Chains A and B, each alone.
Chain A
Amino acid sequence: MSAHIFQEKSSAILTVEKIVFWLFRVATYVVLIFSAYILLTITFKGIGSVVKLSPPFIDIPFLTESPETLHVFQFEGKPMQLGDTEYRQFTATRTVNDPNESTVAHSAGGIFPCIVGTVLLVVGSMVIALVLGVSSAIYLSEYGGSGRIVETLRLAILNLAGVPSIVFGLFGFAMFVIFFKWNVSLIAGWFTLAFMVMPVIITAAEESLRAVPQGFREGSLALGATKWQTIRSNVLPYALPGILTSSILGIARVAGETAPIMFTAAFVKTDQLPWQGLAHVTDFFFRGVMALPYHIYVVSSKIPQNEFTERMQYGSAFVFLLVVASIAMTSMVLRTRLRKAYKW
């Protein structure tokens, strides 16, 4: 091949450049590989708790039962691992005589109440956060302008976004649990999480509102529509997909947080599902729930790491990761698709 006049000749500068650029590349891939490693380890070790090789292919008890104490013992020379309920049935007719019999808390059964609790927490707090967040965003982008008050508002939102989640937890504890006397309850968790995620939603919603071209508003106003009519019919519909995708990101964040619900909403163990045994309908809101993230914290810190506890530990971590990752993934896919779909 003949040399082109613009062809790069090898020189010291170019070699250095190549090396430096490779360093940047390596750094990038180190991050990606390490996170992929985490993802894959938890998936491989956890998938066994959820998926089975025989029909129905899904470990239904793991997804539908409550956590139980695991009994590990030898019976007639065979190693046995039974959950508390099964163990009671088993020992009702037989006597287990194993000096090495041991029990591990939280390691048998499933995670159904935790999933339910997480869903309830996320749904409730998102409703609150969306109402507050979207309204705030509408105010900031449509009515606000750039006065002193709006500056203050923006500053507050920006600062609120930086407050550590544990501080939100403590605030929720002091205000809702103690001061309002709501105790450790679903509703206390809702408000704590909603306040925590509000800045994220406001920022995201404002961004999508601002993306709606000014002409849409001007056209509507010129036709004599009021401000609210304009917003309702010519701004919100176009911003809504953007707002929703961004709030999905907020959902992922709410679902993933543990610290704020530790002392505002989550229980290590409750016997009843949130809707069971209610003396009054409002009790539903004023009772704590079990939640997946808190459950994972409990099973990874309070019980040992061994073959008997692995099923619960990796299984819950996997399910949780799957839930949060799919929420985040949905938001990302939707966002890229919407960016392509909405071009003005």
Chain B
Amino acid sequence: MSTPSSNKSTMRDALTKPQGFRFLGLDFDSAIKYFFGGNAFVAVVVLALITIFLFKEGFGFISQNRRNLQVYRQAGLEYVDIMRSRMDAHTKLGRQVNAARLNLFKDLQKQGKSLDEINAMLAPLDEFSGKFSDAAETLRGLVSDYGDAAATIKQSASEIQDRLEEKEMLIDAGKRDQAEKVVVPVIDFPSARKVILDSEPQYAELCGAMRSTLIALINTPNPGYEMIPLEVRSRFKTDTLAFLDYLDQGKSELTAWNPDKPVGYLDGLASFLTHPEWLTASFWQDWYGVIPLFVGSLFVSVIALLLAVPLGVSAAIYVNQIAGNREASYIKPAIEFIAAFPSVVLGFFGVAILGETIRAISGWHFLSWISFFPIAERLNATTAGILLGLMAVPTIFSLAEDAINNVPVHFKEASFALGASKLQTLVKIIIPAALSGIIAAVLLGFGRVIGETMVVLLCAGNRIKIPDFTEGLGAFFQPVHTMTGIIAQEMGEVPSGSIHYRALFMVAILLFLLALGINFLAQRIVRRFKISIG
């Protein structure tokens, strides 16, 4: 046994002397604390790294796209596109005549006429449509000639770019003398595009000729023209007159066009955010406009939510309020189990079975009164939307069920005590009390579907075009492409560092910001509208 004095000294030692283990001035316990804290901090670091890397790779897009647009303008492609848009408008107009012909053809076929007979009967109409189409012959020639010229200038401009890059690479590699030898051709844009600017008087002349031809076509009696049903004809007439104004308007646009108008960095970004086309590897001009992809993503998500919100919320209400304990204990894990379905398997199901089934159903005879049935594409927005909806159900279900579960029982009891029926209690008390939670659940479900990749990549049809909403409900059965889908589809094939590569990162940045925004909004809603329970 030790003496009291030595005991005292050990006590003092224990209190004053540092303990044995020290690491960077920390004792063992603090070291462990900081180790755990450091790990927790990884979440922040990862979020920061994601932001940094997405922006690092994506940001170069803006200057690259600016250069892209600059060449587009300086080489005169933009100028030719003014004429080209008129040509496209004319072609679109011609489609009205073709559609009318198709309808007449079907009618005659129903009357039991043979093919030769029908063709003979429709000959005047064909003649009319031929004349209409021929009216744009000069315009087409103009676009084609000057288009070639502009494309050539662009070609040499991109060659300059290639050489410059080659030079840069050689300098980076330390081969200065070799870099000196790389010849960068110089082009004089103003004189090169002089040829193109010459088209202006030709265009003015063409406008006059086209006006007189088209006016003559729609105003003088013509057997072919009269074959078109009156209703279609009057629309065609107004559209043609509008087209002629549009054609004339081109004259002032061509005059006002300024090749030296500077393209700013903001234009590089604006073109990404607002241009209605995503067009890559085109012979003419590449466009990286996110709009069709964004609309596609949104459209598919909306379809998914239209299905998932009623189903998920209903199921949550049913399980929490209506079903018996036993039934609930089976349904709850079953719905939660859906969350474990791998998305690629669902996508495969869509490709192999669901798409075909939807198309088969649309071909059923008694549904033929629906104008857009039978549908043409097996893989379309609805096919993807249904499966995405299924994927969103568990998310919405779990969160909504939680929200309903958190409504205090005495709210319900009070309502019953006042003589309200079960349904009244549900609609007037429980759902309003849980509403903020339900809305947050829907938002998070939305976040889940808009970020989902495999199902849309496999089932949405992958056509990069804004769905034609003028077709009404038919738009639901058009193929679309989405933001997530385009990244997954094109990332593997683009050379890293190219403008296309960076454009995909820009899409990812947009997705990332969207996800953060949705999360933020969901949290705000839950916090702000939470009914104080007490």
Using a CB–CB cutoff of 8 Å, the interface residues on chain A facing chain B are 13-14, 16-17, 20-21, 23-25, 27-28, 30-32, 34-35, 38, 41-42, 131-132, 135-136, 138-140, 142-144, 152-153, 156-171, 173-175, 178-179, 195, 198-199, 202, 226-228, 249, 252-253, 255-259, 262-263, 293-294, 296-297, 300-301, 305, 313-314, 317, 320-321, 324-325, 327-329, 332, 336
Contacts and interface: CB of A to CB of B under 8 A. Distances in A.
Interface of B: 28-29, 32-33, 35-37, 39-44, 46-47, 49-50, 53-54, 56-57, 310-312, 314-315, 317-319, 322-323, 331, 333-349, 351-353, 390, 393, 421-424, 444, 447, 450-454, 457-458, 484, 487-488, 491-492, 496, 504-505, 508, 511-512, 515-516, 518-520, 523
Contacts of A14: 421
A324 B312 CA distance: 23
Pick the 10 closest A-B CB pairs, nearest first.
Answer: A164-B451, A256-B342, A328-B340, A135-B39, A27-B314, A139-B36, A136-B40, A17-B423, A259-B453, A24-B318
Given A158-B519, A252-B340, A135 B508 contact: no
B39 A131 contact: yes
10 contacts: A27-B311, A163-B516, A164-B511, A167-B511, A170-B508, A174-B54, A174-B505, A228-B28, A258-B342, A325-B340
Contact of B37 (A24, A139, A293): A139
Contact of A329 (B46, B337, B352, B390): B337
Contact of A296 (B32, B344, B452, B523): B344
A328 B450 CA distance: 24
Contacts of B520: 159
A255 B453 CA distance: 15
B348 A25 contact: no
Contacts of B36: 135-136, 138-139, 142-143
A296 B454 CA distance: 11
Contacts of A227: 29, 32-33
A292 B341 CA distance: 14
Contacts of A320: 342, 344-345
Nearest to B354: A38
A32 B314 contact: no
B42 A132 contact: yes
A163 to B, nearest CB: 5
Contact of A27 (B315, B340, B447, B518): B315
Contact of A21 (B47, B322, B339): B322
A159 B319 CA distance: 29
B47 A297 contact: no
A262 B46 contact: no
Nearest to B509: A167
A324 B342 contact: yes
A328 B512 contact: no
Contact of B345 (A20, A31, A317): A317
B429 to A, nearest CB: 14
